[in-house]
Amino acid sequence: MARKDFSADDIVAFLGKGTSFKGVITYEGSIRIDGKVEGEIVSQGILIVGESADIQSEISVGTLICAGKITGNVQASEKVHLQPTAILSGSLNTPRLVIDQGVSFNGQCEMKTSVPKKENN
Protein backbone atom coordinates (compact mmCIF):
# COMPACT_ATOMS: atom_id res chain seq x y z
CA MET A 1 0.00 0.00 0.00
CA ALA A 2 2.74 2.48 0.85
CA ARG A 3 6.23 3.09 -0.48
CA LYS A 4 8.34 0.04 -1.25
CA ASP A 5 10.96 1.12 1.30
CA PHE A 6 8.30 1.32 4.04
CA SER A 7 7.94 -1.72 6.30
CA ALA A 8 5.52 -2.81 9.02
CA ASP A 9 8.35 -2.34 11.53
CA ASP A 10 8.12 1.42 10.93
CA ILE A 11 4.54 1.53 12.30
CA VAL A 12 4.42 2.50 15.99
CA ALA A 13 0.64 2.00 16.42
CA PHE A 14 -2.21 0.21 14.64
CA LEU A 15 -5.97 0.69 14.99
CA GLY A 16 -7.48 -2.35 13.35
CA LYS A 17 -10.70 -2.97 11.44
CA GLY A 18 -13.71 -3.11 13.76
CA THR A 19 -12.18 -0.81 16.39
CA SER A 20 -13.18 2.77 17.16
CA PHE A 21 -11.56 5.71 18.94
CA LYS A 22 -12.84 9.13 20.00
CA GLY A 23 -10.42 11.84 21.08
CA VAL A 24 -7.03 13.23 20.15
CA ILE A 25 -4.27 11.04 18.69
CA THR A 26 -0.72 12.38 18.86
CA TYR A 27 2.32 10.31 17.95
CA GLU A 28 5.84 10.22 16.59
CA GLY A 29 6.71 7.94 13.69
CA SER A 30 3.99 6.21 11.67
CA ILE A 31 0.56 4.80 12.47
CA ARG A 32 -1.98 2.85 10.45
CA ILE A 33 -5.72 3.17 10.98
CA ASP A 34 -8.21 0.63 9.61
CA GLY A 35 -11.01 1.36 12.10
CA LYS A 36 -13.14 4.38 13.00
CA VAL A 37 -11.74 7.59 14.49
CA GLU A 38 -13.52 10.76 15.62
CA GLY A 39 -11.59 13.76 16.90
CA GLU A 40 -8.16 15.05 16.01
CA ILE A 41 -4.95 13.49 14.68
CA VAL A 42 -1.71 15.46 15.15
CA SER A 43 1.85 14.43 14.22
CA GLN A 44 4.82 15.30 12.05
CA GLY A 45 4.99 11.62 11.11
CA ILE A 46 3.17 9.41 8.61
CA LEU A 47 -0.53 8.54 8.81
CA ILE A 48 -1.66 5.52 6.80
CA VAL A 49 -5.43 5.22 6.36
CA GLY A 50 -6.48 1.73 5.27
CA GLU A 51 -9.38 0.87 2.94
CA SER A 52 -11.75 0.01 5.81
CA ALA A 53 -11.00 3.19 7.78
CA ASP A 54 -13.68 5.79 8.47
CA ILE A 55 -12.13 8.94 9.94
CA GLN A 56 -14.05 12.04 11.01
CA SER A 57 -11.22 14.25 12.21
CA GLU A 58 -9.16 17.34 11.79
CA ILE A 59 -5.81 15.96 10.62
CA SER A 60 -2.40 17.63 10.83
CA VAL A 61 0.47 15.31 9.85
CA GLY A 62 3.71 15.21 7.93
CA THR A 63 2.57 12.68 5.30
CA LEU A 64 -0.86 11.17 4.65
CA ILE A 65 -1.31 7.97 2.64
CA CYS A 66 -5.04 7.33 2.29
CA ALA A 67 -7.05 4.43 0.85
CA GLY A 68 -10.07 4.88 3.16
CA LYS A 69 -12.66 7.52 4.03
CA ILE A 70 -11.80 10.86 5.65
CA THR A 71 -14.33 13.54 6.54
CA GLY A 72 -12.58 16.66 7.81
CA ASN A 73 -9.78 19.05 7.03
CA VAL A 74 -6.29 17.76 6.26
CA GLN A 75 -3.03 19.66 6.72
CA ALA A 76 0.09 17.76 5.59
CA SER A 77 3.46 19.48 5.82
CA GLU A 78 5.16 17.09 3.36
CA LYS A 79 2.82 15.09 1.11
CA VAL A 80 -0.65 13.60 0.59
CA HIS A 81 -1.18 10.44 -1.49
CA LEU A 82 -4.82 9.54 -2.19
CA GLN A 83 -5.04 5.97 -3.42
CA PRO A 84 -7.79 4.61 -5.75
CA THR A 85 -10.28 3.70 -2.99
CA ALA A 86 -9.87 6.96 -1.03
CA ILE A 87 -12.81 9.24 -0.24
CA LEU A 88 -11.91 12.68 1.11
CA SER A 89 -14.52 15.29 2.04
CA GLY A 90 -12.96 18.48 3.36
CA SER A 91 -10.23 20.98 2.69
CA LEU A 92 -6.72 19.84 1.91
CA ASN A 93 -3.50 21.81 2.40
CA THR A 94 -0.20 20.26 1.33
CA PRO A 95 2.84 21.19 -0.78
CA ARG A 96 2.76 17.84 -2.69
CA LEU A 97 -0.31 15.91 -3.79
CA VAL A 98 -0.76 12.58 -5.59
CA ILE A 99 -4.30 11.57 -6.59
CA ASP A 100 -4.76 8.14 -8.16
CA GLN A 101 -7.53 7.36 -10.63
CA GLY A 102 -10.75 6.41 -8.82
CA VAL A 103 -10.38 8.78 -5.85
CA SER A 104 -13.41 10.75 -4.65
CA PHE A 105 -12.32 14.21 -3.45
CA ASN A 106 -14.95 16.78 -2.46
CA GLY A 107 -13.53 19.99 -1.05
CA GLN A 108 -10.91 22.62 -1.57
CA CYS A 109 -7.20 22.12 -2.11
CA GLU A 110 -4.42 24.57 -1.40
CA MET A 111 -0.83 23.81 -2.34
CA LYS A 112 1.71 26.29 -1.09
CA THR A 113 5.40 25.88 -0.67
CA SER A 114 7.44 28.31 1.33
CA VAL A 115 8.91 30.92 -1.00
CA PRO A 116 11.86 33.01 0.20
CA LYS A 117 11.04 36.68 0.52
CA LYS A 118 12.78 39.01 -1.91
CA GLU A 119 14.84 41.77 -0.42
CA ASN A 120 14.00 45.31 -1.48
CA ASN A 121 17.08 47.23 -2.62
Residue 87 lies in a domain: yes
Cβ neighbours for 88, distance < 8 A, ≥ 6 positions apart: 66, 69, 70, 74, 82, 103, 104, 105, 106, 107
Residue 110 lies in a domain: no
The total number of structural domains in the chain stands at: 1
What CA–CA distance (Å, rounded) separates 72 from 39? 10
Cα 93–Cα 87–Cα 62 angle in degrees, nearest 5: 35
Residue 114 lies in a domain: no
CB 69 within 8 A of CB 51: no
Question: pTM of this prediction?
Answer: 0.84
Residue 118 lies in a domain: no
Residue 80 lies in a domain: yes
| Residue range 38-95, pLDDT digits in tens | 999 999 999 999 999 999 999 999 999 999 999 999 999 999 999 999 999 999 999 9
Residue 55 lies in a domain: yes
Higher pLDDT pick, 72 / 115: 72
Task: Determine the structural domain holding residue 46 and report its residue range.
Answer: 9-105
pLDDT at 10: 75
Residue 67 lies in a domain: yes
**What SS3 class is residue 36?**
strand
| Residue range 11-45, pLDDT digits in tens | 778 888 999 999 999 999 999 999 999 999 999 99
Residue 68 lies in a domain: yes
